[in-house]
């Protein structure tokens, strides 16, 4: 535990530049909300306390993170204002404060550790990063290796805008620096209280600010709009793919494969081009996922083959040696060992035993418009093509369902069941057919 460190995460901004009804910090990144990335990094630093500044629409986060303190900031008058209300609420500040932004999900632990380290001898430590064509970030103004101030891009002169070190927003504030937080005023273009003004104020008190330049500039990426969200996703996807490749996952075209932060792989896994793996997917050994498949919240055991063009939805368990073929959708179902659903089927809320063959076009009718019901198919059964299994229904073991049947009643073990109407042959005349 960092014994004199607290973390403050600023997440109350409305995120209007996102142009989305979803609050900015809840936008998904690698399949989890953006704020989750920041919380995880905060927890890794083992601080004494974590506080998050939020707007009213995020109060439900209190239930998700019971160990974090929450403060609602209404109205949101700027990053400086957010820290001011934190200080107001915590009158006796005993610790150093690391300020993180909820929209800074790529921040790297090595940079955070530097910031914390340099707070030992400085009032403020600051994470800057190099950027060639800055058009939005605050600019760090230095003089003789001393940080003079941070000027917001909108407030900067043309000359200041040519400077290369930008402000990441990540900042370490000592107890001292926090004591003059209320000196921050809102005399700027946006009429906001800028946290960044603390640097200039600290200089007035003859205190020092240490600038740390991020090792990788992507660590400082601020996500304000959908474009930046896509850049963040791209960077993180690339690092997940590298990890998977290192682990031995065979991908011919890794750049077309999308993974989630929590994707788990066994040994000898092959993923063909254009596959999307959503969150909570566990993949065993010798699994082959073919092109254009989409998998989410599912357990794939060993020697399973999926796709091409398969959709594996939440709650699915595919047991050893099972095979899911093209244009098959599986939802909330268990497919047991050596069973096959090879073509054009929908299997929902079903429990399929071992060595079952589900013929092409089989549909589990699991929803009657009101409730969902279960389908059970016991081991060694054979479901003929184009069968509708109207749930709730159970097919016994070693049974056969004739193709084209609509099964509405349970079928016992070792039976052949079919509901097909009889085939008839009739004479007919083509005499009147026009030529």
Closest CA to 281 of 267, 259, 258, 298: 298
Going residue by residue from 94 to 113, which x/- string records binding to Ca ion, judged by CB under 5 A?
A: ---------x----------
Question: How far, in whole angstroms, is CA 420 from its chain's centroid?
Answer: 47
Tell me the sheet residues that pair with 212: 127
Distances from the Cα of 387 to the Cα of 198, 218, 345, 360, 369, angstroms:
70, 53, 10, 8, 20
Is 343 marked active-site?
A: yes
Residues 74-93 that bind ligand UD1 (CB under 6 A): 76-79, 81-82
Of 4, 20, 224, 398, which one interacts with Ca ion (CB under 5 A)?
224
Q: How would you write 88-129 as a 3-class SS string?
A: HHCCCCCCEEEEEECCCCCCCHHHHHHHHHHCCCCCEEEEEE
| Site stretch for Ca ion (CB under 5 A), options 220-228, 316-324, 380-388, 395-403 | 220-228
Within the chain, what is the greatest distance between any pair of CA atoms? Answer: 108
Q: Which of 6, 149, 152, 233 binds ligand UD1 (CB under 6 A)?
A: 152
DSSP 283: E
DSSP 36: H
Told to check if 11 binds ligand UD1 by CB under 6 A, we report: yes
76 binds Ca ion (CB under 5 A): no
Q: Which of these segments, 5-13, 259-267, 347-355, 397-405, binds ligand UD1 (CB under 6 A)?
A: 5-13
Binding mask 131-150 for ligand UD1 (x = CB under 6 A): ------xx-----------x
| Smallest distance, ligand UD1 to C-beta of residue 383, A | 53
- Exactly one of 23, 80, 105, 222 binds Ca ion (CB under 5 A); that residue is 222
- Note whether 396 and 380 are within 8 A (CB): no
Check residue 124 for interaction with ligand UD1 (CB under 6 A).
Answer: no
Catalytic one among 118, 250, 294, 343? 343
- What residues between 193 and 252 interact with ligand UD1 by CB under 6 A? 194-196, 222, 224
279 near Ca ion, rule: CB under 5 A:
no
Please say which residue, 224 or 386, places its beta carbon nearer to Ca ion. 224
Of 385, 341, 345, 347, the C-alpha closest to 366 is 347
23 binds Ca ion (CB under 5 A): no
Closest-CB residue for ligand UD1? 138
CA 415 to chain centre: 47
Under the binding rule (CB under 6 A), the answer on residue 38 touching ligand UD1 is no
Contacts of 111 (CB under 8 A, 6+ apart): 127, 170, 212, 214, 215, 219, 220
- Residue 270 in the binding site for Ca ion (CB under 5 A): no
* Burial category of 94 from C-beta neighbours within 10 Å (exposed 0-12, middle 13-18, buried 19 and up): exposed
CA distance linking residue 99 with residue 88, whole number of Å: 16
33: preceding bond cis by omega (within 30 degrees): no
Which is nearer to Ca ion, 152 or 354 (by Cβ)?
A: 152
104 or 322: CB nearest Ca ion: 104
Query: Taking CB under 6 A as the rule, does residue 284 contact ligand UD1?
Result: no
**Interface ranges with ligand UD1 (CB under 6 A):** 10-13, 53, 73, 76-79, 81-82, 101-103, 137-138, 150, 152, 166-169, 194-196, 222, 224
Which residues are catalytically annotated? 343
């Amino acid at each position: 535990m960092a014994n004199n460190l607290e973390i403050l995460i600023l997440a109350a901004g409305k995120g209007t530049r996102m142009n989305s009804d979803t609050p900015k910090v809840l936008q998904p990144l690698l399949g989890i909300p953006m704020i989750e990335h920041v919380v995880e990094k905060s927890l890794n630093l083992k601080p004494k306390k974590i506080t998050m500044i939020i707007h009213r629409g995020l109060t439900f986060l209190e239930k998700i993170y019971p160990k974090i303190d929450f403060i609602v900031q209404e109205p949101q008058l700027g990053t400086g204002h957010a820290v001011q209300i934190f200080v107001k609420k915590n009158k006796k500040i005993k610790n150093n404060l690391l300020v993180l932004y909820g929209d800074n999900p790529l921040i790297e632990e090595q940079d955070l550790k530097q910031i914390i380290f340099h707070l030992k001898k400085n009032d403020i430590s600051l994470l800057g990063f190099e950027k060639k064509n800055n058009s939005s970030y605050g600019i760090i103004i230095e003089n003789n290796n001393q940080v003079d101030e941070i000027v917001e891009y909108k407030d900067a002169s043309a000359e200041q805008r040519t400077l290369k070190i930008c402000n990441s927003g990540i900042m370490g504030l000592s107890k001292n620096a926090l004591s003059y937080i209320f000196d921050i005023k809102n005399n700027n273009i946006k009429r906001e209280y800028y946290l960044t003004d603390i640097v200039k104020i600290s200089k007035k008190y003859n205190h020092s600010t240490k600038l740390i330049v991020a090792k990788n500039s992507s660590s400082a990426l601020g996500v304000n709009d959908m474009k930046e969200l896509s850049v963040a996703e791209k960077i993180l996807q690339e690092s997940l793919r590298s990890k998977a490749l290192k682990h031995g996952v065979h991908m011919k075209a890794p750049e077309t494969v999308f993974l989630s932060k929590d994707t788990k792989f066994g040994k000898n896994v092959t993923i063909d081009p254009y596959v999307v793996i959503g969150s909570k997917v566990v993949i065993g050994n010798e699994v082959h996922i073919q092109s254009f498949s989409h998998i989410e919240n599912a357990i794939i055991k060993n020697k399973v083959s999926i796709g091409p063009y398969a959709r594996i939805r939440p709650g699915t368990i595919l047991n050893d040696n099972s095979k899911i073929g093209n244009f098959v959708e599986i939802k909330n179902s268990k497919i047991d060992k050596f069973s096959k659903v090879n073509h054009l089927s929908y299997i929902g809320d079903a429990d399929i035993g071992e060595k079952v063959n589900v013929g092409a076009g089989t549909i589990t009718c699991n929803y009657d418009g009101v409730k969902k019901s279960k389908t059970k198919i016991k081991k060694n059964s054979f479901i003929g093509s184009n069968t509708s299994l109207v749930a709730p229904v159970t097919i016994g073991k070693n049974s056969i369902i004739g193709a084209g049947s609509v099964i509405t009643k349970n079928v016992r073990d070792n039976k052949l069941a079919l509901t097909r109407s009889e085939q008839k042959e009739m004479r007919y005349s083509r005499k009147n057919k026009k030529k």
